Chains A and B, each alone.
Chain A
Amino acid sequence: MESKKGHSKPGEFKPIDLLACAAAREVKDGEIVFAGTGLPMLAIMVAQHTQAPTAVCIYESGSIDGRPIDLPTSVADARCSYQAAVGDGLTDVFGQLQSGKVDLAYLGGAEVDLYGNVNCTFMGGPTGKRLTGSGGNSDIHSLAKRSVLIMPQFGQKRRFVERVSYITSPGWKIPHWPDKEWVPKQEVYGSAFNGGPAAVISDMGVYRFDAKGEMYLDTVHPGFTPEECRENCSFDLNNF
């Protein structure tokens, strides 16, 4: 590793640090957390080292309650499994997710909309620019009690849109197939409904969802104003 000269002094931070810390604060102690690759891993580890020491982290590759001493590169990294309680596989962890055992899930995405629908498959719909596809993003947003989306926003207003161009993962309002009628998530999921998006955390602020399932600006990070958040969002953030 590089020497410690790269470490920040107290009060010194980059927007990305703030994003990770704001995300970490969403975890309550004792919760069962499902985390995806990237910043979500950092966020859960920060939470476990601060206010949520007994939170359990599950990774979709199959590791349960690891105690990593190094930051993993992806969910299947051996670093995730270090001192884990269980290291099994996808059938185990996705089964637990579907049975409602996951309190909080952390994920990323390329595009998010007013209702918290997430796109990580195609920018611009199926004739547009191809991305990775769902992986576990869709499953986790579908089935966790609360999901938190971590996304960069500053200078990237095309990531915050009124309707995503492809729904990889469900938010609070989604189409019912095959009739295409847009209805609340609860109507589509019925007895399998566990919850939905709780927050979107960007490098500019924290967004939450009102009773209609629409996104509003909750708090603004230091260094930004509500107007700047509005300017970096493609839909009208009229709720603040």
Chain B
Amino acid sequence: MARPKIVSLTEAVGQIKDGDMLTFGGFTVWRRPMAAIYELIRQKKRNLHLVEVNGGTHDDMLVGAGCVGIWESSWCGHELYGKFGSNLARKIEKGEILYEDWAHIHILNRLTAGSKGLPFLPTYSAMGCDMLNPENDNLGKAGLRDGSNPHIGKLKYAMYQEPFTNSEIVLVPAANPDWCITHVQMVGAEGTVRVDGLKFSDQEVIKASKHNIIIAEQVVPEEYLRREPTRNMIGGYLVDYIVEQPWGAHPTGLYGVHEPDGEFISNFFKATRTQEGFDQWAEEWIFGVKDFQEYLSKLGITRLESLKANPALGYSSTMKRGSR
């Protein structure tokens, strides 16, 4: 498609099918497309295959809601707000989810290879570590490396004696997700994307994916973004759907706009250590509200105001922080 469509969150997320491979922009608890995460759960997506440079609150939530069949990443946690992703941990410990662990560079390289049309990329990272232990090839052990799923390679990785200096190096296969969902500060009406603050691995994951949904704090005239093209990240032809959703990254943080809602994430971590706990939490915050707008109303302006960043610093100068 030549031009992205500006649609509702419900419509955009409605295009994603059960079993699709998904990835997300952002980094741990920063700039995650949370409004879309809640909508994926509300629409009861199943058997999603997540391939993520790193996880965070968002993927632990999808896992807790039973949306995920396969999780592939380097990490899942809530940074300072929760020691680990307890929903993913519980499902891994009970054998209720398929997972594949990677080092950060491995999974970054998989998506970068995907973004460049290459079948693999090499790295020296994590040689001798248990992510590369053949006994930990979980998708292989499940019989899924038989070529029937285009998203699952014949091998988890390959060791290669490279011909230039004769060193051993790890080749990791490309990943090309069906969908990437990214939350950003600004998108033009024709889809030009601008990210303020760190770019993380957004360019790689967006370009690796077949389809893209961009959720933005603000949709702005293209002319405004095109005055300074060097500040922009992605051209509109890579974007399928645009959704305007202020605060759509809550409870994760958004550079220059708002802090992560640490208390909210910490409560999520504490409340969802068990499946019953998760179900109750989801009833209150996902199924108990009609849509993201109602979720924001439930949070209330006072809470949201307290998270707002000081634009000169990029973060809040007034938020109460921890003490000894």
Interface residues on B, range: 35 or more
Does A6 sit within 8 A of B, measured CB to CB?
A: yes
B-facing mask of A83-126, CB < 8 A → 1, else 0? 00001111100100010000000000000000000000100001
Question: Which of A150-158, A172-180, A215-223 participates in binding chain B?
Answer: A172-180
Query: Of B83, B309, B315, which is in contact with the most chain A CB atoms at under 10 Å from its CB?
Result: B315
Q: How far is the CA of A240 from the CA of B165 in the complex (A)?
A: 41
Interface residues on A, range: 35 or more
Query: With a CB–CB cut-off of 8 A, which chain A residues contact B123?
Result: 98
Determine if A94 and B108 form an interchain contact, defined as CB atoms under 8 angstroms apart: yes
Q: How far is the CA of A55 from the CA of B93 in the complex (A)?
A: 42
Does B313 sit within 8 A of A, measured CB to CB?
A: yes
Nearest opposing residue in chain A for B125, CB measure: A139
Query: With a CB–CB cut-off of 8 A, which chain B residues contact A174?
Result: 127-129
Q: Report the minimal beta-carbon distance from A42 to chain B, rounded to whole angstroms.
A: 12
Given contacts A2-B323, A73-B79, contact A81 B124 (CB under 8 A): no
Determine if B93 and A87 form an interchain contact, defined as CB atoms under 8 angstroms apart: no
Q: Report the minimal beta-carbon distance from B76 to chain A, rounded to whole angstroms.
A: 6
Q: How far is the CA of A132 from the CA of B30 in the complex (A)?
A: 17
Determine if B104 and A135 form an interchain contact, defined as CB atoms under 8 angstroms apart: yes
Q: Report the minimal beta-carbon distance from B84 to chain A, rounded to whole angstroms.
A: 5
Determine if B124 and A192 form an interchain contact, defined as CB atoms under 8 angstroms apart: yes
Query: With a CB–CB cut-off of 8 A, which chain B residues contact A70?
Result: 315
Determine if B103 and A62 form an interchain contact, defined as CB atoms under 8 angstroms apart: no
Does B264 sit within 8 A of A, measured CB to CB?
A: no
Determine if B124 and A90 form an interchain contact, defined as CB atoms under 8 angstroms apart: no
Q: Which of A75, A132, A138, A169 contacts B84 (CB under 8 A)?
A: A132
Count of CB-CB pairs between chains A and B under 8 Å: 191
Nearest opposing residue in chain A for B75, CB measure: A135
Query: With a CB–CB cut-off of 8 A, which chain B residues contact A6?
Result: 323-324
Determine if A76 and B30 form an interchain contact, defined as CB atoms under 8 angstroms apart: yes
A-facing mask of B119-136, CB < 8 A → 1, else 0? 000011111111111101
Q: How far is the CA of A94 from the CA of B105 in the complex (A)?
A: 7
Determine if B102 and A134 form an interchain contact, defined as CB atoms under 8 angstroms apart: yes
Does A228 sit within 8 A of B, measured CB to CB?
A: no
Considering the complex, which residues of chain B in the window 92-116 have a beta carbon less than 8 Å from any beta carbon of chain A?
A: 92-93, 101-105, 108, 112
Given contacts A82-B314, A130-B89, A134-B102, contact A121 B124 (CB under 8 A): no
7 sampled A-B residue pairs with Cβ under 8 A: A73-B262, A74-B30, A77-B30, A91-B201, A132-B75, A133-B101, A188-B168
6 nearest interchain CB pairs?
A: A174-B128, A130-B89, A78-B314, A135-B75, A192-B124, A74-B79
Beyond A81-B255, A135-B75, list 17 extra A-B contacts (CB 8 Å).
Answer: A1-B321, A38-B80, A73-B262, A74-B30, A78-B255, A89-B201, A130-B84, A131-B83, A134-B102, A134-B103, A136-B104, A170-B126, A170-B127, A174-B128, A188-B127, A190-B167, A192-B124
